[in-house]
Amino acid sequence: MKFKVLGSGAGIPSRTRNTQSFVLDVVEEINQYFLIDASEALQHRILNTTIRPSKIKHVFITHLHGDHIFGLPGFLSSRAHQGGEGIPLVIYGPPGLKEWIEVTFRISSSHLNYPIRFVEVVHDGEYEVEGFTVKSRLLDHAVDSFMYAFIEPEKLGALDSAKLKDIGIMPGPIYKEIKKSQTFQHEGETYATADFLSPPVEGRKVAVHGDTRIIDRPDYLELLDGADLIVHEATYLEGEKEKAHQYFHSEIDDVLNNLSRISYGRLLLVHISNRYDAEMLESVEEKMGDRAVIAHDYLEITIPRDSR
């Protein structure tokens, strides 16, 4: 599993940062990509990667501000001619997203060669997506803005070959059959497969925020607790907490302090304002140490199992 940053900037792009768009790469797990937000120039960003649009079958939009959706119509149109013909797409997002896309396509006389299904997300929503559980949580922004928590299913533990040998079953294709079963028989005896497996491996969790003020509710922090990767906006740097709150955004120190109450693997700070130059961002990163990473375009983070 990998997390790929196609755009790391806030509302206005800069020479080094496009506006916000991400891909959760689960090709190794389910041969797909999950697209999160669709900033302007998204289709061109994808051309600079190895991502295949036809393998994007689920899109998650955090909120309807332009810097998060203006690239969606172009991406949908390009996908139709990049191997996506006939491959259904599901788009998750706030109320109004379906209407905006339909009006845009009607006025521009655009047509697709694959079906789209829209899912209108809600606070505390839960969705089954290709075996993953995806939870939506309403944030605190000027418009409805959501966090998506992507939770991988747990993986079966490994077979204990020593135990199987003890009852007379030697290694071979039978092991694969045993692992897929609930029970198995050997020499007239019935055994429970679970007795021959190590404990299951917990699935990974990645939480991706839309734009938001700081949220310190216990239920919100409980959902984030144990995440392997938290992606959170930090539009404002140190000393700008009041301005961040005024404009429904977050400030870096507030993010770090809020999340210090839970356990997580890595924190990726995104939605970086174009007001800050590289020298200032480098100074902030030095102060944070290993607590967090400030995103840059085309950054790729590998999320191994047991990364917490």
The predicted pLDDT at position 58 comes to: 98
Q: 308 pLDDT band (50/70/90 cuts)?
A: low
pLDDT, mean of residues 186-211: 94
The answer to whether 67 is a known catalytic residue is yes
Q: Which residues are annotated as a binding site for Zn(2+)?
A: 63, 65, 67-68, 141, 211, 271
pLDDT, mean of residues 12-41: 96
The predicted pLDDT at position 180 comes to: 87
The predicted pLDDT at position 289 comes to: 76
The predicted pLDDT at position 173 comes to: 92
Q: Which of 25, 37, 67, 254 is catalytic?
A: 67
234-287 per-position pLDDT tens digit: 999 877 899 999 999 999 899 999 999 999 999 999 999 888 878 778 888 887
60-114 per-position pLDDT tens digit: 999 999 999 999 999 999 999 999 999 999 999 999 999 999 999 999 999 999 9
Q: pTM of this prediction?
A: 0.90
The predicted pLDDT at position 288 comes to: 79
Could you give the domains of the chain?
2-155+203-302 (3.60.15.10), 161-196 (no CATH)
165/283: higher pLDDT = 165
| 307: pLDDT strictly greater than 80 | no
- HEC sequence for the chain: CEEEEEECECCCCCCCCCECEEEEEEHHHHCEEEEECCCCCHHHHHHCCCCCHHHEEEEECCCCCHHHHCCHHHHHHHHCCCCCCCCCEEEEECCCHHHHHHHHHHHCCCCCCCCEEEEECCCCEEEEECCEEEEEEECCCCCCCEEEEEECCCECCCECHHHHHHCCCCCCHHHHHHHHCCEEEECCEEEEHHHHECCCECCCEEEEECCCCCCCCHHHHHHHCCCCEEEEECCECCCCHHHHHHCCCCEHHHHHHHHCCCCCCEEEEECECCCCCHHHHHHHHHHHCCCCEECCCCCEEECCCCCC
| 225: pLDDT strictly greater than 60 | yes
Q: 186 pLDDT band (50/70/90 cuts)?
A: very high
Q: 40 pLDDT band (50/70/90 cuts)?
A: very high
